Structure 1
Amino acid sequence: MAARSLFFALTRNARREYKSSFRFLFSTSQVANLIQEPSTSIHEEHADYNPEEGQKDDLKSRIFRLRLPKRSATNILQKWTSEGNKITISDLRSISRDLRKSQRYKHALEISEWMISHEEYELSDSDYAVRIDLMTKVFGIDSAERYFERLPPWAKTSETYTALLHSYARLKLIEKAEDLYERIKAANLSLSAITYNELMTLYLSVGQLEKVNLIVEELKRQNVAPDLFTYNLWVSSCAATLNIDELRRILGKMSRDSGSNESWVRYLKLVDIYIASSHLVHSVSDSLVESEKDTSQRELITYDFLIILYGALKNKERLDQIWKSLRMTRQKLTGRNYVCILSSYLMVEDLKEVGEILDQWRQSATSEFDSSICNRLSKAFKDAGLDEKAASFGMLLSEKGCEVTDEI
């Protein structure tokens, strides 16, 4: 603790000098050696960043024209500066963010390396945290751990600790995650809900649902305000254990939370729709299946809530993945399953997918299609104040030959 206090007491210039010596530990040449790429000819490099007629010629465009991971983003950066152009740290952060969204982690890591190896850039805690995540994705968790341990004390912040915790959670390394969490607590850092969310995500992913509530209690003891994702995870753990009473209590707490916003309200409405529709189709969803099936009805409940959560967050990519996984199970899909996925795709405004799901439901040999359930779903959207989505769904039902009624 004394060493940590000393580092925070350093002047800005002295701290910058310390950063300079630290940057040397992770030089561009080190990363290049780790990647061990074959050499690239000048002709090949020019083919990467020379724009065709009519194409944009800015730094981001040049980097995104790199067609293969083995091509060097560092070379593009060097070429750009050699032409007399400046590169701001905001430019680098923006390009790195877009590269990560495109899953081009190696190029994003090169951007991070450029930032570290150039002393004119004042790095933030987030820059170091992003680098830990990229090191994990490109070189593996061992490299990320070594990088974190060699960080100077002032760079071991809640953000960098949480970045490493995220890597452990994603890889389901329970023991390492729990040990790191103890280190975080011992460091007396000021934490946000994000750190607790990582542990809750880990416990949900490995089925240790009883530990989710323990993390929620710890969050409360530390007076940390939960965010929407905290509630999402908490609700999911209740769904997985079929604890509907606790679920309703959490929803009540969410509605009273001072941090509520439009996303929270939308989420609450959607979960209310789920609860209403699940009760409407309880005669179908309560039917049990053969014991040798891989996925239990309880696990299907968890799928339903994941669908609801990502629908509320308008994350269509994850919604697509979860729906695909659900359809690949050997369980019978129930009316409840179809209601959940239909409502979520309505929330992300994908009517094409909604129409295809209606067709799949009608053609399903394992779950009887019931147009009255669809009408109830449409009414639930109206009652939630989502009239436009309800109208779109009603029109689609008519096109599919489903009976549409105004009264339920």
Structure 2
Amino acid sequence: MLALSKVLRRTQRLQFGACSAVYSQLEGRSFFTLESPSTVYNDKCEAAPRFQDISSMMMSKRALSSNAGTKSDQEDDLEDGFSELENAKETSSSSSDDDSEDDETKLSADEEEEELDLIETDDGIKTVQKKPSELFNTIVSAAGLSIGSALDKYVEEGNEINRFEVSKAILQLRKRRMYGRALQMSEWLEANKKMEMKDRDYASRLDLIVKTRGLEKGEAYMDKIPKSFRGEVIYRTFLANSVAACNVKKSEVVFNRMKDLGLPLSGFTCDQMLLLYKRVDKKKIADVLLLMEKENVKPSLLTYKILIDVKGSSNDINGMEQIVETMREEGVEPDFYTQAITARHYVGAGLKEKAEKVLKEMEGGSLEANRGAFKDLLSLYATLGREDEVTRIWKICEAKPRFEESLAAIHAFGKLNKVKEAEEIFEKIVKMDRRQSSNTYSVLLRVYVDHKMLSKGKALVKRMDENGCRIEATTWDALIKLYVEAGEVEKAESLLREASKQSHTKPMMTSFMYLMDEYSRRGDVHNAEKIFQRMREVGYTSRLRQFQGLLQAYLNAKAPAYGMRERMKADNIFPNKSMAALLSQGDPFKKTAISEILD
């Protein structure tokens, strides 16, 4: 761990030199007061040492601070535009930016799903089965608002409901993102006293409430959980959801509260804070690592993945390589996905030979034996423009293709401008997919979007409707982008309004940004502000990317951006160098040489 924090401090893109100077201050102070407001945590507990950031240490405050300092000039181009956890899980698109968002998704989602999706029997044995359960089939086939009635009938027919079947059904509902149905099932079970509630049951319910109703409803539910069950699993579940929502204040309050309550500091908890600061303030990553070092929390595979991705996205390839080297020295071997992150950043830095070397390592001695790597191999070889390699790997899959591999192949051939090949794979996968999943259509639709094939895109969506596919967030996202790029912005906005009305899904943040960027390009301040406000209404907290788009609208309209700095500060958003330059351009009170002479 010591070696890892040293690597972070000595690499050039993220300047962490101050950490070693102030870290010793942690040793001499053991008690402090929580200064952030916490409205729902009523447990009384003796204050305990907790994590603090550099800026708060300098001011002798003993808590995680949500007031991030402005980024240094060396970090000016670090983009804060990772997609949010809830929406980015859906799919990846064809651009390198979309691949980065897909990386963020996997980093965020993998551990969270593992935490909540374990199937338990009453004797504690955990297992996983892929075959859908009868209970799951009952819930899925029920009309949207009559799940309780369907479950009543299920019991009347003599079917048994036990913990194993319940856990299995909820797992399968989660995998299909049917959070609303899973929540209705959970509420029915408690109301009908069909299962004794344990801490994991409460945690699962909390997670489902946040996913379907938002953080505030989740907080209210937390306060109702019996105190005896309000332990680590409850708090870390809420922490993960606060991080997913990119809510810095709430995440830091929960983290500090866990310390106050004397709950153990786990790798999962620290990884959540790393994910948060990866998005909002990369300078604070060193603070988390120093805390892990002090508390003897061993870095997990996810910890290394996050750090590798941070360094790669900062274009600090030397730093990224040092993290990989440290990881190996600590006896942690990279998995396929870690290698894929590394390769993707090599591609982004133009180091194609290094990228291909990593891809060959992923293939190993026998490509057939490493089938878990196929999905990423198809995507990365396509990004490198290696049609021969994509074709070679797809030929191995083609005889008995897996669903995810087929989606990746459609995406890969689309990147290579092989639309016909992508369509052929799509037709094969539609025959495989008896449920007629909207995901299958969304991937091909994205190919049409990237090639501006509006008529084909419209025909595909019509076919989806005829086959009874429910339009999910990814499909709405692709459609909105399709119409924006075709110049039909009014139609794209009407689709966004329609998507926002759907109770089963929430539009992706990128769906709003397509429109905002187009309005910004046109200098249409009124509509850019309208989209900005709509994002807030559906629950997206403000981020630097949104303010960049909004400010650009003012600049292109040659209109003064009154109060923009204050608006950003109110949302706890601090500009990097490029944003500071835009703010300076849009400042209506900016002094010029001529204005100073006239004054």
Using the size of structure 2 for normalisation, the TM-score is: 0.38
Match of 1:252 in 2: 325
The DSSP-based 3-state class of the residue aligned with 2:416 is helix
Match of 2:182 in 1: 108
Given the superposition, is the C-alpha separation of residues 276 and 167 from structure 1 closer, same or farther in structure 2, using an over 3 Å criterion?
closer
Query: Is 1:356 matched up with 2:414?
Result: yes
Which runs of structure 2 are paired with 1:163-242 in the superposition (5 Å)? Answer: 163-206=237-280, 208-242=281-315
Match of 1:161 among 235, 241, 265: 235
Kindly state the Cα deviation for residue 184 of structure 1 after the two structures are TM-superposed: 0.8
Aligned mates of 2:314, 2:339 — CA distance in 1: 21
Aligned mates of 1:178, 1:341 — CA distance in 2: 46
- The one-letter amino acid paired with 2:137 is S
Query: Is 1:69 matched up with 2:144?
Result: yes
Given the superposition, is the C-alpha separation of residues 271 and 181 from structure 1 closer, same or farther in structure 2, using an over 3 Å criterion?
closer
Q: Is the 2:136–2:172 Cα contact (8 Å) retained in structure 1?
A: no
Query: Is 1:59 matched up with 2:135?
Result: yes
Kindly state the Cα deviation for residue 134 of structure 1 after the two structures are TM-superposed: 0.9
Per-residue CA shift, 1:367-398, capped at 9, x if unaligned? Answer: xxxxxxxxxxxxxxxxxxxxxxxxxxxxxxxx
Match of 2:336 in 1: 266
Given the superposition, is the C-alpha separation of residues 351 and 84 from structure 1 closer, same or farther in structure 2, using an over 3 Å criterion?
closer
Higher relative contact order (CA 8 A, sep 6+): 2
Aligned mates of 2:372, 2:318 — CA distance in 1: 24
Kindly state the Cα deviation for residue 272 of structure 1 after the two structures are TM-superposed: 5.6
Aligned mates of 1:164, 1:187 — CA distance in 2: 15
Kindly state the Cα deviation for residue 199 of structure 1 after the two structures are TM-superposed: 1.9
Q: Is the 2:278–2:310 Cα contact (8 Å) retained in structure 1?
A: yes
The DSSP-based 3-state class of the residue aligned with 2:197 is coil
Aligned mates of 2:325, 2:260 — CA distance in 1: 34
Match of 2:214 among 137, 140, 143: 140
Aligned mates of 2:200, 2:329 — CA distance in 1: 31
Given the superposition, is the C-alpha separation of residues 117 and 256 from structure 1 closer, same or farther in structure 2, using an over 3 Å criterion?
farther
The DSSP-based 3-state class of the residue aligned with 2:265 is coil
Per-residue CA shift, 1:86-139, capped at 9, x if unaligned? Answer: 100111111112112222222100121133335452333222111111111222
Which runs of structure 2 are paired with 1:273-288 in the superposition (5 Å)? Answer: 273-274=343-344, 281=351
Aligned mates of 2:229, 2:386 — CA distance in 1: 44
Per-residue CA shift, 1:2-32, capped at 9, x if unaligned? Answer: 989xxxxxxxxxxxxxxxxxxxxxxxxxxxx
Aligned mates of 2:217, 2:158 — CA distance in 1: 35
Aligned mates of 1:341, 1:215 — CA distance in 2: 42
Per-residue CA shift, 1:216-240, capped at 9, x if unaligned? Answer: 2222322222222221111122123
Match of 1:403 in 2: none
Match of 1:326 in 2: none
Given the superposition, is the C-alpha separation of residues 351 and 197 from structure 1 closer, same or farther in structure 2, using an over 3 Å criterion?
same
Match of 1:395 in 2: none
Q: Is the 1:169–1:177 Cα contact (8 Å) retained in structure 2?
A: yes
- The one-letter amino acid paired with 2:416 is L
Aligned residues: 265
Match of 2:202 in 1: 128
Match of 1:387 in 2: none
Kindly state the Cα deviation for residue 282 of structure 1 after the two structures are TM-superposed: 8.0
Match of 1:380 in 2: none
Gaps of 5+ in 1: 5-55, 284-311, 324-334, 362-408
Aligned mates of 2:387, 2:274 — CA distance in 1: 24
Q: Is the 1:342–1:354 Cα contact (8 Å) retained in structure 2?
A: no
- The one-letter amino acid paired with 1:358 is L
Which runs of structure 2 are paired with 1:328-347 in the superposition (5 Å)? Answer: 338=384
Q: Is the 1:255–1:265 Cα contact (8 Å) retained in structure 2?
A: no
Given the superposition, is the C-alpha separation of residues 196 and 357 from structure 1 closer, same or farther in structure 2, using an over 3 Å criterion?
same
The DSSP-based 3-state class of the residue aligned with 1:198 is helix
Q: Is the 2:277–2:284 Cα contact (8 Å) retained in structure 1?
A: yes
Kindly state the Cα deviation for residue 174 of structure 1 after the two structures are TM-superposed: 0.8
Given the superposition, is the C-alpha separation of residues 355 and 87 from structure 1 closer, same or farther in structure 2, using an over 3 Å criterion?
same
Given the superposition, is the C-alpha separation of residues 139 and 351 from structure 1 closer, same or farther in structure 2, using an over 3 Å criterion?
closer
Using the size of structure 1 for normalisation, the TM-score is: 0.55
- The one-letter amino acid paired with 2:285 is V
Aligned mates of 1:157, 1:341 — CA distance in 2: 52
- The one-letter amino acid paired with 2:412 is V
Aligned mates of 1:140, 1:170 — CA distance in 2: 11
Aligned mates of 2:270, 2:247 — CA distance in 1: 16
Per-residue CA shift, 1:314-366, capped at 9, x if unaligned? Answer: 6969x99xx9xxxxxxxxxxx996469999997975444333323379xxxxx
Aligned mates of 1:57, 1:360 — CA distance in 2: 39
Kindly state the Cα deviation for residue 154 of structure 1 after the two structures are TM-superposed: 2.1
Query: Is 1:117 matched up with 2:187?
Result: no
Kindly state the Cα deviation for residue 204 of structure 1 after the two structures are TM-superposed: 2.2
Kindly state the Cα deviation for residue 276 of structure 1 after the two structures are TM-superposed: 6.0
The DSSP-based 3-state class of the residue aligned with 2:246 is coil
Q: Is the 1:277–1:339 Cα contact (8 Å) retained in structure 2?
A: no
The DSSP-based 3-state class of the residue aligned with 1:230 is helix
| RMSD, aligned CA | 4.2
Per-residue CA shift, 1:136-155, capped at 9, x if unaligned? Answer: 12222211101112222221
Kindly state the Cα deviation for residue 172 of structure 1 after the two structures are TM-superposed: 1.5
Q: Is the 2:210–2:218 Cα contact (8 Å) retained in structure 1?
A: yes
Percent identity (aligned): 23
Per-residue CA shift, 1:158-217, capped at 9, x if unaligned? Answer: 2110111122112221111111111011111123322122222222233x1111222222
